[in-house]
Structure 1
Amino acid sequence: METTKPLNNSPGNGKRLGEILRILGRHKLTQGITPEKLRATVEDLGPTFVKFGQIMSMRHDMLPAEYCEELAKLRTDVQPLAFAEVRRVVEAEYKVPMEEIFLSFEEQPIGSASIAQAHMAVLRDGRPVVVKVQRPGIRETMAQDVALLHRAARLLNLTEVGDVVDLNMVLDEMWTVAQQEMDFLLEAQNAEEFRACNRDTAFVDCPEIDHRHTTTRVLVMEYVDGVQIDDVDTLHREAYDLEEVGLKLADNYVKQVIDDGFFHADPHPGNIRIRGGKIVWIDLGMMGRLTIRDRSLLRDGVKAIVSGDVEHLKQIVLTMGVHSGRIDHARLYGDIDDFLAKYAKLDLGSMDLGQIIEELVGLAREHRISVPKGISMLSRGVLTLEGVLAVVSPKINLLEILANRMSAEIRKDFDWIEEQKGRFRNLYESSQKGIRIPAQMSDLLRMALKGQAKVNLEVIGSEQPLASLDRMVNRLVKCILCAAMLLGSCLLCTTGMQPKLLGIPLVGMLGFIAALLMGIWVLWDMHKHK
């Protein structure tokens, strides 16, 4: 993946850097950052960063939930490109005049965003299509803005704002995702993969891509003229059963997640249409992926939540994520116990799958456990889809459908003979271990009698007190050194040692200055860590 390009020192870059610094200073980010302040800052930074903010609103593994919710409110309001610019991009990609490819091409866009805009068109063979055209220079503009924000963050010492945001990591991730969205060939591949995954699902479809005329900067796809899924009045008039629509929508999304591991990460109403009795998923630029391991752990997690198994869910969180530093297992166990206690008295139909995943991702972050990117994107996707279902068919519950699908899979895959074989195998292994217990106990007692037994003791939660004690000892040593230099300098002042400065031996004067500087250092350190 391409990295952020180095900055040149053109006057335009200096002006833009000054503008970014003024915006960051106006919002006083050095004094702390709140969700509202972050959203306001992103809005003032312009359309490029609004797009970045929309991307990061889906990354609950990198930002706390309240920040993601605030960034999700961002809306891109971008002035459409002049048609002459659109023509230049299209003809630069095809190397021929636009008229040789399209029979007609609407000058007025049907949608305009920070990265691209879409136009209605008709191909030479008469097929109506939507043409998505990338804004000229958008890649270079975004690269420069990211590099400038990196520099602005260093100048304002904003690389880490408290324990909330590692700004450099966030900027790098935003740039990586933005590059993927700017590669229309990747979106075309996503559409083909999605179509292949849902080939056997009669009620699901997606726009067909015209690969012959699709490039990295121009995407040509089938025009979908269906009804937007939240337009319930039109769906009623066309005699659609909304309960059936909602059930099929939820069932297909669960299939995307559990069976395919390839799901639509932004299923808002504008990206879902109903056409000819089929659910049509559009805008497949942002897709989430789950590995086989992630899907297995997700299934096990649902089982642990339903059964209230704290220890099993704790192990799933630890296995799924990557943790940095020491884990306080007792605190993690307590937090998961509190989490499950909230849902203990609720039935499946009363639980929100999106909220559960979001809370678990937040809990993992509090313990410095980073979950896979796919799980974080799933959290946002499920929350968005649950909002769609609340409009179309409020009685449908995603977690209930997920549990029912898992139960059906268990019944389908259950083999009584293999199950009994497995139980006998476990029984045999347990009996072998039981036979070895007396010998192991004898070895342990013999080692204890010889004084060779050792006990490894880990005191949970001792790191912070020990760190405080270490700082205290270091300060004490500095104070002793400071006092020693002060006393030594005083003794030197009573001698006639040469050379002298202002009537005081020079070595003694240097000792006084060193003692003064060390004293200021100790006081500053105490103020910083109080």
Structure 2
Amino acid sequence: MEKVTGGPPESPARRAARIARVGARYGFGFVFGGRPTRRRNRADTGRIGPRLRLSLEELGPTFAELGRFLSARGDLLPPDVAAELGRAGVQINPIPFSEVRVLVERELENTLERLFIGFEEVPTRVGSLTQAHRAVLPGGRPALVVLGRPNIRRDLLAMRPVADVTRRRIGDRLPLDPALSVAEFTAHVNHRRDMYFAARIARRLRELQGFPLRVPQTYRDYSTGRCATFEAPADPTVPDEGRYGEVAGALVRLALSEGIFLADVSPGRFAVDGLTGEVWLSDPTEVFSLDPERLRGVAEVLAAVRRGDVDGVTRALPLSGGSVPRDDSALRRELRETLGSLGGPLWEEHPLVEIRGRGLEALRRGGAKLHVEVAGMAHAVAAAEGLSGKETRAAAEAAEGLVSRYRDPAYVAARMARRLAQPDAFADYPRQIHALLDELKDGEVEVRFRHAGLDDLIGRVDVLANRLVFAFLIAALIIGSSMLGIFVTSGLQLLGVSIVGLVGFVVAAVLGLLLLVSIIRSGRL
């Protein structure tokens, strides 16, 4: 459980040592050079998934968040381990109000009494990375203040040496790279705590036509990179089940049509204004947005899935930032089986969480890998569905709209024009040409071609060329022997034929017979 009060916080080094002790208690001591031990008073400690989840929960909210982050990587982790990590959760203590006061006053560089007319001490939402409080600005304007939790950086720094040790000792036996996963999680956490980015996405959502949720404005004078203040409904109430259905549909459509998704889809982020009846996305922080080119790759994947085109899926995965193995025969087989079981007239009967799980398992078995943000988007879509029950139809409609938009000739032409208009597309060409000429001068250029089936074709051409050379040699021997037999009248002769010409005929016959046998054995006569 997280310790928010009671003395100075642990240093990253002491925190890393505590990680090793907790890991040893749950049977992971061999990673750190100790003997594996297990707690006998805990249930389900024999399997790796529960033991890993329990150890992360004991280490605190940041580590439990790491478990949930890893649970989105069903393309790398076995389904039982990913499901167990997805259940990681601890009781999160709110930041004491005295510490909240210090954080807000330090960020906004003024006292709380001068900044706000009122500031509620009890938070409206407590998350593992952020915390939200209601407040009243001068003029009676209701507001919501969101600030990042302290000591997150300490936990992130403590994870790095542990991940490095794990990679060195058992990295070759793990389905993922621990150091890379911690680095990705660090970037993930820092992005979720970036209030400037949240404010930019909130402005983008307000300008988005057809988005059914009310997105608050950001009070820039009361916001920094670590603390953001948003407008709030005057009379907020908790949405009922029907309103949560609207929220779920809006979030699924937003993710699959615009590439924008919430990393934490907790009910505390949404409210209904009791005066107007509008549904608010009252806390738009911890939000992500896919790169447009990566979203275009996702559109290509969805288009191939809709057609049932396994080859199209394997070709489009790298466009979305993923990777496929060089030998993709296993991947094609797994995708064919998954699309066949989920497709057909009853495909909408499957919830998104099942579609996501089976799709990720097909990628894992086939050796493919998603980009970390694409995996996070798939996880967020499934989590948004949990607010209402099932949003498969909304996902299908959004995916169809995304594919149509990226296949629109007007969009393709505009995209090409934008790329050509970018100075960066041409500014680096002189330097690249200069580097290429230097490499040519030094003899360091190495060109490699790889094409499916090209090696086999080259081998066949090589065999054909050898046979042609062999045939020309036989023809030359026959012609030469004939000329010797006709024009040479002196020397040794047999039956009126020159011995030299006769030997040439025999050699040509033997070589011709060998060539004929090789052609017959190849089955290409």
Q: TM-score, normalised by structure 2?
A: 0.65
Q: CA offsets per residue over residues 316-369 of structure 1, 9 Å max, x none?
A: 335545447x53232222222211221244434223344334433333333443
Match for 2:398: what amino acid?
Answer: L
Match for 2:301: what amino acid?
Answer: G
Q: What is the correspondence of 1:345-384 to structure 2 with a 5 Å cutoff? A: 345-384=344-383
Match for 2:162: what amino acid?
Answer: L
How far apart are the structure 1 equivalents of 2:177 and 2:409?
Answer: 47
Indicate whether 1:214 and 2:223 are aligned: yes
Change (3 A) 1:69 1:191: farther
Deviation (angstroms), 1:114: 3.8
Q: What is the correspondence of 1:90-169 to structure 2 with a 5 Å cutoff? A: 90-136=104-150, 138-147=151-160, 149-150=162-163, 153=166, 160=171, 162-169=173-180
Match for 1:450: what amino acid?
Answer: L
How far apart are the structure 2 equivalents of 1:401 and 1:215?
Answer: 37
* Contact 1:203/1:277 (8 A) holds in 2: no
* Contact 2:252/2:395 (8 A) holds in 1: no
Change (3 A) 1:399 1:14: closer
Match of 1:330 in 2: 329
Greater CA drift, 98-107 or 24-33: 24-33
How far apart are the structure 2 equivalents of 1:347 and 1:53?
Answer: 33
Match of 1:280 in 2: 280
Change (3 A) 1:77 1:310: same
Indicate whether 1:304 and 2:313 are aligned: no
Secondary structure of residue in 1 paired with 2:387: helix
* Contact 1:51/1:76 (8 A) holds in 2: no
Match for 2:173: what amino acid?
Answer: G
What value does the CA root-mean-square deviation take over the aligned residues?
3.8
* Contact 2:125/2:268 (8 A) holds in 1: no
Match of 1:257 among 248, 255, 258: 255
Match of 2:198 among 187, 190, 207: 187
Match for 2:212: what amino acid?
Answer: F
Secondary structure of residue in 2 paired with 1:74: coil
Indicate whether 1:173 and 2:184 are aligned: yes
* Contact 1:17/1:152 (8 A) holds in 2: no
Match of 1:290 in 2: 290
Deviation (angstroms), 1:124: 1.9
Match for 2:213: what amino acid?
Answer: V
Match of 1:507 in 2: none
How far apart are the structure 2 equivalents of 1:175 and 1:354?
Answer: 26
Change (3 A) 1:183 1:340: closer
Match for 2:259: what amino acid?
Answer: G
Unaligned runs of 5+ in 1: 1-9, 236-241, 419-442, 453-530
Match of 2:441 in 1: none
* Contact 1:24/1:41 (8 A) holds in 2: yes
Match of 1:523 in 2: none
Match of 1:422 in 2: none
Q: Alignment length, in residue pairs? A: 396
* Contact 1:131/1:219 (8 A) holds in 2: yes
Q: CA offsets per residue over residues 236-261 of structure 1, 9 Å max, x none?
A: xxxxxx6xx746852x4454234423
Match for 2:214: what amino acid?
Answer: D
How far apart are the structure 2 equivalents of 1:115 and 1:206?
Answer: 21
Secondary structure of residue in 1 paired with 2:388: helix
Match of 1:52 in 2: 66
Change (3 A) 1:139 1:291: closer
* Contact 2:57/2:90 (8 A) holds in 1: no
* Contact 1:20/1:152 (8 A) holds in 2: no
Match for 1:88: what amino acid?
Answer: V
* Contact 1:59/1:68 (8 A) holds in 2: yes
Match for 2:393: what amino acid?
Answer: N
Change (3 A) 1:174 1:314: closer
Deviation (angstroms), 1:79: 2.6
Deviation (angstroms), 1:101: 0.8
Change (3 A) 1:195 1:46: same
Secondary structure of residue in 1 paired with 2:386: helix
Deviation (angstroms), 1:448: 6.6
Change (3 A) 1:280 1:69: farther
* Contact 2:298/2:317 (8 A) holds in 1: no
Change (3 A) 1:70 1:223: farther
Match for 2:95: what amino acid?
Answer: L
Change (3 A) 1:414 1:317: closer
Secondary structure of residue in 1 paired with 2:136: strand
Change (3 A) 1:313 1:180: closer
Change (3 A) 1:114 1:158: farther
How far apart are the structure 2 equivalents of 1:162 and 1:174?
Answer: 21
Q: CA offsets per residue over residues 347-399 of structure 1, 9 Å max, x none?
A: 34223344334433333333443222232012111211222231xxx586334
Change (3 A) 1:339 1:25: same
Q: What is the correspondence of 1:494-509 to structure 2 with a 5 Å cutoff? A: none
Match for 2:468: what amino acid?
Answer: K
Secondary structure of residue in 1 paired with 2:132: strand
Deviation (angstroms), 1:89: 1.8
Indicate whether 1:223 and 2:232 are aligned: yes
Deviation (angstroms), 1:26: 1.1
Percentage of pairs with the same residue: 22
Match for 1:24: what amino acid?
Answer: G
Q: Larger radius of gyration, structure 1 or 2?
A: 2
* Contact 2:70/2:85 (8 A) holds in 1: yes
